[in-house]
Amino acid sequence: LPLDFFVCFSSMASMLGSPGQGNYAAANGFMDAIAHYRRGQVLPGLSINWGAWAAGGMAARLDSFNQQRLDRSGMIAIKPEQGMMALGSLLSESQSQVGVFPINWSKFLRQFLGGKKMPFLSALISTEPSLTQKSAFREQLEEAAASERQELLTTHLRLAIAKTLGWTDAQKIGMRQPLFELGLDSLMAVELKNRLESSLETSLSSTLLFDYPTVEALVEYLTNDVIPLDFFDETEKLKEENVSTEYSDQLSDVTQLSETELEASVLEEIEALAKFI
């Protein structure tokens, strides 16, 4: 069947990626490939990688909380009249694939650890090396006394989790409360992981929140295995070591007693306690 136009409504996800939606990005990438293939066969073919539409599509059906998340990422919804104008203009062009997605790039790029640039966008965004600047929280953590760092980190994690969930009271988040029971989903987990990577200035596993699903588990993991800072001062370390040594010595003394000596020792302790009853 001879066609005048063959247009695929693809998504910006196949151009820029979509955290937590690799399958969705791949499906749209398949449409892009079809358009390129048809052009190679001297047939009409155009794939438009749309951003979010304001009055239709998946983005328009999102609740207010997820709409706010889109806004925080820098994405600007396309008004229907703007989208139709772009479509009419592109039908007369010869490209196989075109992205149409209004974005606040400064907001969008904040998602990337250490201000890293995407090679795909190098022609659009300045690649001038930016001055290395520590995140405000990382700087605060490094300047704090070792004995204060764990509390600072715990508070920071609670605030980051609350912001991701859209909560105003971070103290409601219990130390051992599973985060997914609070409403965290897989997309929020990626958003939270990215937020922590930026504030802590360190790479984190994409399964971070699945492997360490409570504030307590996160704090223990980050302080012991990730952040290269001391979280306990030397005095506290010495106290812990002394207690451990004392306990080991006592245990060693007990294990060296014969059964008769051990029984006599226990009876002696019982008699001593009986005097206070």
pLDDT tens column, 161-200: 999 898 999 999 999 999 999 999 888 898 899 889 989 9
Q: What's the DSSP call for residue 114?
A: G
Q: How many domains would you assign to the chain?
A: 3
Same domain? 60 vs 156: no
Helix (H, G, I), strand (E, B) or coil at 5: coil
The number of residues in the chain equals: 277
Residue-wise pLDDT tens digits, 51-83: 988 877 777 777 777 777 778 778 888 999 999
Pairing mode, strands 7-11 and 97-100: unpaired
Domain that includes residue 145, residue range: 136-226
What torsion do the CA atoms of 70, 73, 74, 77 make, to the nearest 10 degrees? -20
Helix (H, G, I), strand (E, B) or coil at 144: coil
Same domain? 47 vs 94: yes
Distance CA 220, CA 39 (A): 55
Does residue 130 lie within any of the structural domains?
A: no
Least confident among 13-27, 193-207, 243-257: 243-257
